[in-house]
Amino acid sequence: MGLFTKFFTKSNPVSAFIVQSPGTTAHKEKDYIKISKEAYQYCSIAFRAIDKIAKSVSKIPIVAYTEDETGERVDLPNTHPLVQLLNRPNPIQSRVDLIYYLTSYKLLDGNGYLVKTHSTGDRNKKTPLELYTVQPNYIFIEKGADGIPNAYKVGSSESNAKRYDVNQVSGRSDIMHWKTFHPTNMWYGLSPMQAAGIHVDTFNQSQLWNYSLLKNGGKPLGAVKYTGENQLSKKQFEEFKTRVKTEVSDAVNAGTVLALDGQFDWVQISTDPVDMDFTENQLNAARFIASVYGVPPQIINIPGENTYSNMQEAKEEFWTDTVIPTAESVVEKLEHWLSPFYDEGIKLTLDYDKIEALERKRTQKREGIVGLVDKGIISRKEARQMLGYDELDANDSLLVPANLIPLSLAEEGVETEEEAEEIEEEKEYIAMLDSKGEPVIKEKKNKGGEDD
């Protein structure tokens, strides 16, 4: 063991007991292509929920900044390499496109990946040159002994994949892995679609059933009655059941006609609207899918209470409980991944003031702070700090509604500048009185020292 490895290698105290076969590829529990088709391409509710979240997250501006000696934030200029990288991560995508794809992959698969490139002349520090998203099924994780991946392999198959090693001390890699929590897999994130799977199947099957029933004439359910004199043998009965199951069962055969001979009758069975309300089943499944992703039903137009008041509350809930936490998570991950490649202690944050959906809350906050000032609970200086404004310079002067006079005069109860001048003259006169209230007359002396 080398000196550096001996003193600087980190070790997970429980990894030896939980990591099986380090150096091998971690097993993927799900088929990404199948989930993508069933839950995204074929399920309109899941598509809408994922698309709505990803678009909302991608539209929030990201601010890169450092802190000065006093801890004040100093935003980086647009010419800074990291700002330019985020705004134009690669030749074919903008920042909005990159975050949209990254968030969509994570919401669908539970895993979002970015890979960075660097210029050939910068192999020591590897400052990022471009960023690209990677489809989750093209990533293979090689297990590490301490719970940190040994490497990420990128390719259509593991045999011809490109290897990206992971530093076992710092955790640095050219791959960024943003994932959800998985209770039984320490390498890959849990797909939300696994939690919503039964509801997605219910929604898709009810859609297919209704479609097939309409396509086949909208015929209701029925039963086949045997009217022959001789009882069917067990073999004949099983053959007939197999034929019925093949030709008229399942959603794709809903409403099809079964051809019968003279010894069989079709008995139509009326459908109980309560038991066979596919529309309500669809809506319930849709609501469950939306709830898995934290999307209020009103946001993606699932029928319900869609009054204006409810819509406003739903939008605020959607942004505060789903969009902003998701955006904060990806920004923290980007900061953790990219900041070490620069020497300035760069941090990333969201530009919350640009989020239009929170304008009502910002207005309520401002009105509340102004109310505290009007009641004398806090000072105007404290109010400015709470609202994020800078301190006033000595030459600055605030105006208040009382005829828009300077604040310093309004605090003295002065209504006009003429009154202010009178007060100043009175102050000068009082300053000239002695302790007995008599005016103090200062005598002037001539140049020779004698009194005039």
Q: Percent of the chain scored above 90 by pLDDT?
A: 29
**How many Cβ atoms sit within 10 Å of the Cβ of residue 168?**
18
Task: Look over the chain and give the mean of its residue pLDDT values, rounded to a whole number.
Answer: 77
Q: What is the pLDDT of residue 248?
A: 61
Strand partners, 176: 114
**Residue 270 is encoded by which pair of tokens?**
């009326």
Distance CA 302, CA 150 (A): 45
- Taking each continuous run of H as one helix and of E as one strand, the counts in the chain are 16, 11
Distance CA 312, CA 308 (A): 6
Tokens 């799900």 correspond to 30
pLDDT band with cut points at 50, 70 and 90 for residue 383: confident
- In this structure, what is the dihedral angle of CA atoms 102, 107, 109, 115, given to the nearest 10 degrees? 10
Strand partners, 350: 62
Residues comprising the chain, all counted: 452
* SS3 at position 134: strand
Q: How far is the CA of 397 from the CAs of 107, 391, 409, 411, in angstroms?
A: 51, 11, 10, 13
- DSSP letter string over 416-440? SHHHHHHHHHHHHHHHTB-TTSPBP
- What pTM, to 2 d.p., does this model score? 0.71
Give 281-317 pLDDT, tens digit per residue.
788 888 899 899 999 988 888 876 565 567 888 888 8
Compute φ and ψ for 331, nearest 5 degrees. -65, -40
Give 401-452 pLDDT, tens digit per residue.
544 455 555 555 555 566 666 666 666 666 665 555 555 555 554 545 555 4
Q: Where are the alpha helices (DSSP H) in 117-257?
A: 192-195, 197-215, 234-248
Structural contact between residues 94 and 113, judged by C-beta atoms closer than 8 angstroms: no
**How many Cβ atoms sit within 10 Å of the Cβ of residue 198?**
11
Please calculate the CA angle 198-204-205 and round it to the nearest 5 degrees.
90
Residue 385 clears pLDDT 70, i.e. is over it: yes
* SS3 at position 301: coil
* SS3 at position 287: helix
Greater model confidence, 167 or 122: 167
Distance CA 30, CA 121 (A): 40
Q: What is the pLDDT of residue 345?
A: 85
CA-nearest of 151, 152, 155 to 138 is 155
- The half-sphere exposure of 100 on its side-chain side, counting CA atoms within 13 A, is 10
Let me know if 284 is exposed, middle or buried by CB neighbors in 10 A (0-12, 13-18, 19+). middle
pLDDT band with cut points at 50, 70 and 90 for residue 255: low
Q: How far is the CA of 238 from the CAs of 165, 232, 316, in angstroms?
A: 60, 10, 59
Q: Which of 7-11, 162-166, 395-399 has the lowest mean pLDDT?
A: 7-11
- DSSP letter string over 160-201? GPEEEE--TTT---SEEEEE---SS-SSSPPPHHHHSHHHHH
Q: What is the pLDDT of residue 6?
A: 40
Distance CA 180, CA 195 (A): 12
Distance CA 219, CA 1 (A): 77
Give 78-97 pLDDT, tens digit per residue.
999 999 999 999 999 999 99
Distance CA 247, CA 90 (A): 53
Output Rg (C-alpha) for the chain, integer angstroms. Answer: 36
Q: What is the pLDDT of residue 330?
A: 96
